[in-house]
C-alpha cells in the first residue's frame, strides 16, 4: 500500500549508519542497499503551481529508489499524475498527464546552505519532486500546439469561432519599431 504524504522527507541516517561501519576506502565505487520509494505526493506548493499554470493536481505517484554511491546520494525515480492546467494562450482549462524522471546526483560533501536537498541526515524529496515536475513542463503550457489563443481586440477564443475584428494586430513590443520606421520615413 502506498501512503499519501504532504511533506516528503527521507531519513538517510540508515545509509550513513552503514557508512560508519565500513572502511571508507572500500566505499569507492561501491553502492549501499537502496531505499525503495513508493508514495503519492500531495503537491501543495501554491507558488509553484501558479508558476506552472496548474489549477489542480492529483497526488503524484512517485516510485524509485535512493541510494548512496561514491560519496553521493543518488535519486533514481519517476513521477506521474494528472493535472488541470490553464492554457497560457487561450486561458481555457485542460487536463494533461504529467510524468518525468527524477534523476538526481547529490554530492554529500556540499552540505552547505546551497544544498537544498539534504538537511542533516535527511533528504528533502519534496524539493526534488517539485523540481522534476517543473523541469518536465514547457515554459508555456498550451491546450494544444496549434492553439490560436484569444482575439486581441474582442477576446474571442479563436479555437472555438472566428470573430469579425480587423486583426491587423501588432505585438506591443513591435509597436515601437513601427513608430521608429514611420518616423524615419517622414524625414
Ligand atoms: Zn489554448
Ligand atoms: Zn475579435
Domain boundaries, the chain: 3-136, 148-187
Q: pLDDT confidence of 150, banded at 50, 70, 90? A: very high
Instruction: Tell me how far the alpha carbon of residue 178 lies from the centroid of ligand 1, in angstroms.
Output: 28
Instruction: Tell me how far the alpha carbon of residue 147 lies from the centroid of ligand 2, in angstroms.
Output: 15
Ligand closest to the CA atom of residue 140: 1
Cα atoms in the 13 Å half-sphere on the side-chain side of 118: 21
Q: Do residues 60 and 43 lie in contact, with contact meaning Cβ atoms separated by under 8 Å?
A: yes
pLDDT at 97: 96
Instruction: Tell me how far the alpha carbon of residue 151 lies from the centroid of ligand 2, in angstroms.
Output: 5
Q: Do residues 19 and 57 lie in contact, with contact meaning Cβ atoms separated by under 8 Å?
A: no
Ligand closest to the CA atom of residue 153: 2
Q: What is the pLDDT of residues 44-98, one digit of tens each?
A: 889 999 999 999 999 999 999 888 887 788 889 999 999 999 999 999 999 999 9
3-state secondary structure the chain: CCEEECCCEEECHHHHHHHHHCCHHHHCCCECCCEEEEEEECCCCHHHHHHCCEEEECCEEEEEEEEEECCEEEEEEEEEEEEEEECCCCCCEEEEEEEEEEEEEEECCCCCCCCCCEECCEEEHHHHHHHHHHHHCCCCCCCCCCCCCECCCCCCECCCCCCCCCCCCCCHHHHHHHHHHHHHHHC
Instruction: Tell me how far the alpha carbon of residue 143 lies from the centroid of ligand 2, in angstroms.
Output: 20
Please compute the mean of the pLDDT values over residues 100-122 and round it to a whole number. 75
Higher pLDDT among residues 155 and 169, named by residue: 155
Instruction: Tell me how far the alpha carbon of residue 142 lies from the centroid of ligand 1, in angstroms.
Output: 5
Give the whole-angstrom CA distance, residue 117 versus residue 76: 14
pLDDT at 187 over 70: no
Instruction: Tell me how far the alpha carbon of residue 56 lies from the centroid of ligand 1, in angstroms.
Output: 17
Give the whole-angstrom CA distance, residue 1 versus residue 175: 58
Query: Looking at the whole model, is its pTM more than 0.85?
Result: no
Taking alpha carbons only, the member of 47, 54, 58 closest to residue 81 is 58
Instruction: Tell me how far the alpha carbon of residue 131 lies from the centroid of ligand 1, in angstroms.
Output: 25
Instruction: Tell me how far the alpha carbon of residue 90 lies from the centroid of ligand 2, in angstroms.
Output: 13
C-alpha angle 91-95-97 in degrees, rounded to nearest 5:
130
Instruction: Tell me how far the alpha carbon of residue 158 lies from the centroid of ligand 2, in angstroms.
Output: 8
pLDDT at 92: 96
Give the whole-angstrom CA distance, residue 123 versus residue 100: 20
Q: pLDDT confidence of 110, banded at 50, 70, 90? A: low
Higher pLDDT among residues 169 and 89, named by residue: 89
pLDDT at 131: 94
Instruction: Tell me how far the alpha carbon of residue 175 lies from the centroid of ligand 2, in angstroms.
Output: 19
pLDDT at 165 over 80: yes
Higher pLDDT among residues 92 and 111, named by residue: 92
Q: What is the pLDDT of residues 3-41, one digit of tens each?
A: 566 666 666 655 544 333 323 333 334 556 677 888 888
Instruction: Tell me how far the alpha carbon of residue 183 lies from the centroid of ligand 1, in angstroms.
Output: 37
pLDDT at 158 over 50: yes
Tallying the residues shown for the chain, one arrives at 187
pLDDT at 13: 56
Amino acid at each position: 500500500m502506498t501512503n499519501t504524504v504532504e511533506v516528503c522527507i527521507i531519513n538517510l541516517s540508515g545509509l550513513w549508519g552503514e557508512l560508519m561501519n565500513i572502511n571508507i576506502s572500500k566505499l569507492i565505487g561501491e553502492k549501499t542497499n537502496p531505499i525503495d520509494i513508493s508514495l503519492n505526493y500531495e503537491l501543495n506548493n501554491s507558488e509553484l503551481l501558479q508558476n506552472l499554470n496548474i489549477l489542480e493536481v492529483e497526488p503524484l505517484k512517485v516510485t524509485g529508489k535512493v541510494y548512496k554511491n561514491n560519496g553521493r546520494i543518488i535519486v533514481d525515480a519517476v513521477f506521474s499524475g494528472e493535472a488541470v492546467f490553464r492554457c497560457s494562450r487561450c486561458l481555457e482549462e485542460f487536463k494533461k498527464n504529467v510524468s518525468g524522471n527524477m534523476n538526481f546526483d547529490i554530492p554529500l560533501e556540499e552540505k552547505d546552505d546551497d544544498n537544498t536537498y539534504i538537511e542533516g541526515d535527511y533528504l528533502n524529496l519534496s524539493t526534488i519532486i517539485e523540481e522534476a515536475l517543473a523541469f518536465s513542463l514547457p515554459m508555456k503550457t498550451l491546450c494544444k500546439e496549434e492553439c490560436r489563443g484569444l482575439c486581441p481586440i474582442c477576446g474571442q477564443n479563436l479555437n472555438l469561432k472566428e470573430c469579425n475584428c480587423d486583426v491587423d494586430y501588432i505585438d506591443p513590443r513591435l509597436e515601437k519599431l513601427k513608430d521608429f520606421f514611420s518616423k524615419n520615413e517622414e524625414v
